Amino acid sequence: MTTNKIFSRPNRTINILTTCSGIGAPEMALRRLGLKSRILLACDYDKNCEKEYKLNYKPEHWVKNMYDVDAAPFKGQISLLVAGICCQTFSMAGNRTLTEEDGTGRGGLFLPMVKMINDGQPDVFIMENVKGMIMRKDGEPSAWESTIYPALLSTGYDIHYAILNAKDYGVPTDRPRLFVVGFREPRPDFEFPRPIQLTHCLEDYLDDEVPEEYKVNDTVSYLTPRECLRIMGFPEDFKISPEVSGDEIIHQCGNSIVVDVLMEIYKQFDITRYGK
């Protein structure tokens, strides 16, 4: 592993396009790093995510269905594409293989992602998913081996992938995830960021006072929405819509990427090299 790097062009603007945008972890990572960004397009089918996202960011375009995203008009403009794929198909509880229905369903979201890469030609793309995507089940090739990795390679991008755990990047939560980084121009020097020392414990993210609805008893409580946001890397100034329930915020956090891990990846390949 290489040591983490600093930014060479910190005054440039990162043009970003995200799908399965959720509550905007890729965008928040840029904000926390103090970098300028322009959100060309964001996409999520969840109306509550849309409310949270638009309360905290200013996307120039919003699309509800990933299959409807047209990246071609942004060709030559996209610094970074972060394309999510629903993880349920690839979770340890899922079948971890692609079926015929996945051609147009959740598991098949890699298809519009590949189309976006081909049409939009981003400088860099990142994909994150559960580690089950690359794990075999019952001895059969994984969806990654059989379909997704070959499809990504067909784009001609320089593809790198690894399992990274949030607890190795400053966040006290055991959350291993597959991260895939692709470069339009080859980056043979790229390696994923080395682990950093964990200096915080879970208690550092918790409130002194817990609302009654989250208490199990006098000594045990569930995590509150704000506590979940902190753990996932969203700072205190992240706005919570009064139209979105606490349970929904917790659900959104569960579907998010850990912001701190993205920050380390951005630093490692120096995202400002691709600023406009």
| Tens-digit pLDDT profile for residues 10-56 | 999 999 999 999 999 999 999 999 999 999 999 999 999 999 999 99
Contacts of 28 (CB under 8 A, 6+ apart): 56, 233, 234, 235, 238, 259
Burial profile 217-250: b = 16 or more Cβ within 10 angstroms, e = fewer: eeeebebbbbbbbbbbbbeeebebbeebebebbb
Full-model pTM: 0.91
Q: Which residues pair with 159 in a beta bridge?
A: 182
Backbone angles phi, psi at 127, to 5 degrees: -125, 140
Residue-level pLDDT at 2: 39
Residue-level pLDDT at 134: 86
Contact in structure between 200 and 170 (CB atoms under 8 Å): yes
From residue 43, give the alpha-carbon distance in Å to each of 17, 136, 186, 242.
9, 30, 28, 21
Model confidence pLDDT, tens digit, residues 211-238: 999 999 988 999 999 999 999 999 999 9
Contacts of 75 (CB under 8 A, 6+ apart): 119, 120, 121
Residue-level pLDDT at 138: 67
Model confidence pLDDT, tens digit, residues 109-119: 788 999 999 99
Contact in structure between 142 and 96 (CB atoms under 8 Å): yes
Mean pLDDT of 71-96: 74
Nearest CA to 227 out of 214, 217, 245, 218 is that of 214
Helices 259-269, 25-32: crossing angle, 10 deg rounding: 60
Q: How many Cβ atoms sit within 10 Å of the Cβ of residue 83?
A: 26
